[in-house]
Amino acid sequence: MSEAGQFYLGCPVWANKAWVGTFFPAGSRAADFLALYSQRLNTVEGNTTFYATPTAATVARWRAESAPGFKFCLKFPQAISHQHRLRGAEAETAEFLERLEQLGDRCGPSFLQLPPTFAGRDLPVLLTYLDALPQRHAGYAVEVRHPDFFGGPAEAALEDALRARGVARVLFDQRGLRSAEPLDAGTRAAQARKPNVPVRFSHTAPFALVRYISHPTLAENAPLLDEWAEQAATWLAAGDDVYFFCHHKDDRYAPALARDFHTRLSQRIDRPPLPAWDAAEPPQLTQPSLF
């Protein structure tokens, strides 16, 4: 029987002022957010690196402030993926890879989010780019957004190629968000910002990287979280690592969503408890009474 894989649970960011007094202790300073976050959850999406490659000094600080065992899953800069579209981006790629190396054992899988216009005809460009990357223990993941990759020969070719290289397909699930009535500005903005693509459960690497985009009312996510808990438990039992990221429309309740998912997963496979934090249960977590 194989040894169970490692489970990593996190949010899109580690710094959210709305978490002070709930996820973070009252009075917490912004300078302490990363240290506090890494004591409560063990991974984070590094969306900040999409907009700019951090300096060496910044990455050194991230490593120093984060808890042992913590993993950063940094997104490739948009200069590589969107501006250069993976061509002629050697200098930008080398700089980004240097930052990954700086993280050392804090470095989790890094992921390449491709633009919505990156279609099936562009697959050879992606594969050439991936083949030029150095092999890293933490690995790489790719998020595709063009309809070509959600049915038909381009999807099959993509997954075969990723599997042959041990690269994960980012599993992007926005069914919760899409099922919500757009009654408030935050929900409308989130629905407009996210690509409307179907969910996939493809497994192309020794780890899975899931980005779960939730319904604004946390209780409405229960069936989907149960579905993912079953899938994650299966992968973990087979010895594969799982990175699961919980998104909420403004991420105020992303930690509560993460704790809910951890509880559901723990009902299916033995997991150590999450550290305690100060978060009160938000109103959206439970269904309102009918009486």
The first and second tokens of residue 211, run together, are: 């980005």
Residues 173 and 198: their CA atoms lie apart, in Å, by 7
Q: Residue 138 in contact with residue 108, Cβ under 8 Å?
A: yes
Class of the CATH-defined domain 7-279? alpha beta
Q: Residue 93 in contact with residue 128, Cβ under 8 Å?
A: no
Per-residue b or e along 246-272, where b marks 16 or more CB atoms closer than 10 Å to that residue's CB: bbbbebbbbbbbbbbbbebbbebbebe
User: Percentage of the chain with pLDDT > 70?
Assistant: 94
Residue 198 has what DSSP assignment? -
pLDDT at residue 107 greater than cutoff 80: yes
pLDDT tens digits, residue range 8-36?
999 999 999 999 999 999 999 999 999 99
Q: Map residue 245 onto helix, strand or coil.
A: strand
Residues 188 and 148: their CA atoms lie apart, in Å, by 26
Mean pLDDT within 135-157: 95
pLDDT tens digits, residue range 51-100?
999 999 999 999 999 999 999 999 999 999 999 999 999 999 999 999 99
Give the C-alpha distances (Å, rounded to integers) separating 55 from 62, 100, 110, 133.
11, 11, 17, 21
Band of residue 284 on the pLDDT scale cut at 50, 70, 90: very low
pLDDT at residue 287 greater than cutoff 80: no
β-bridge mates for residue 24, sequence order? 20
Choose between 62 and 178: higher pLDDT. Answer: 62
Give the orientation angle of helix 56-65 with respect to helix 33-40, to 10 degrees: 50
